[in-house]
């Protein structure tokens, strides 16, 4: 499995680094069965995160035709107080410190990213994945209507408003769409993807290496509907 993890201006570093390290370690443990790279919609470039201006480098352009996994992170920035809204021109220009998260996500949608993600969604050999607000990027691009997905608990209502069946779970598996909740769920998401695609022994070896145990039940649209809870 080859994994492409997307960078865009204002991305959340932990949304990227947590699954990157898990998948990279899984590749080492499996003798190369997993490979991972950082990409962007524009191609090779330095990309500024939303956390203190931390910079990571995208090594290539996102290739929606390449079989494997494509992962979209969320953004890091201001949540804002209830009723607080950004300035009308806040979406203009380049990344600035402490911008609103919806502004950062919206700006990512003004690039070639939605077109590339749509091509990936339509590729039967690609599994789309997202951590935290990355699910909102996919949803706001019109790619998740009628699907089941997780996001940060503060974004569940927004996700639901786009026509997605928003699920309050750590990881949600909807077949060729696998999503995680808050930022640290990138660890759980990465480990689950290793288990699903490579096997539980590899996933367990990485858990032991990282001294981390996966949290929560992976939610699927299967089985009886719970009653009386």
User: What integer pLDDT is reported at residue 78 of this predicted model?
Assistant: 83
Predicted pLDDT at 84: 47
What is the pLDDT, as a whole number, of residue 90?
Answer: 46
pLDDT of residue 228: 77
- Which residues in 167-185 are b (16+ Cβ under 10 Å) and which e? bebbbbbbebbbbbbbbbb
| CB proximity list for 89: less than 8 A, separation 6 or greater | none
- In this prediction, residue 80 carries a pLDDT of 57
In order along its 229 residues, the chain shows pLDDT tens digits of 999 999 999 999 999 999 999 999 999 999 999 999 999 999 999 999 999 999 999 999 999 999 999 999 999 988 755 444 455 444 445 556 668 888 999 999 999 999 999 999 999 999 999 999 999 999 999 999 999 999 999 999 999 999 999 999 999 999 999 999 988 999 999 999 999 999 999 999 999 999 999 999 999 999 999 887 7
- In angstroms, the CA 15 to CA 76 distance is 9
pTM assigned to the model: 0.93
Which pLDDT score, from 0 to 100, does residue 167 have?
A: 97
In this prediction, residue 79 carries a pLDDT of 74
Lateral strand order in the sheet of 177-180: 60-61, 35-40, 2-6, 68-72, 126-131, 177-180, 171-173, 218-219
Q: What is the predicted pLDDT for the residue at 180?
A: 98
Give the closest residue to 148 by CA, choosing from 188, 181, 107: 181
Q: What is the pLDDT, as a whole number, of residue 82?
A: 46
């Amino acid at each position: 499995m080859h994994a492409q993890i997307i960078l865009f201006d204002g991305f959340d570093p932990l949304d990227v680094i947590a699954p990157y390290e898990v998948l990279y370690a899984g590749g080492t443990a499996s003798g190369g069965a997993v490979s991972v790279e950082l990409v962007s919609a524009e191609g090779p470039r330095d990309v500024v995160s939303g956390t203190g201006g931390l910079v990571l480098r995208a090594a290539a352009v996102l290739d929606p035709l390449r079989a494997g996994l494509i992962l979209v992170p969320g953004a890091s920035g201001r949540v804002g107080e209830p009723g607080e809204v950004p300035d009308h021109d806040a979406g203009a220009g380049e990344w600035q410190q402490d911008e609103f998260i919806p502004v950062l996500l919206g700006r990512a949608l003004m690039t070639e990213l939605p077109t590339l993600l749509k091509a990936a969604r339509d590729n039967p050999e690609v599994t789309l994945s997202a951590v935290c607000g990355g699910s909102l990027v996919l949803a706001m691009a019109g790619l998740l209507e009628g699907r089941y997905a997780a996001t940060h608990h503060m974004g569940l209502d927004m996700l639901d408003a786009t026509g997605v069946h928003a699920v309050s779970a750590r990881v949600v598996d909807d077949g060729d769409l696998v999503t995680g909740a808050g930022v640290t769920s990138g660890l759980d998401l990465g480990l689950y993807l290793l288990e699903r695609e490579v096997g539980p022994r590899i996933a367990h070896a990485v858990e032991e290496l990282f001294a981390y145990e996966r949290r929560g039940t992976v939610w699927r649209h299967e089985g009886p509907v719970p009653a009386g809870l």
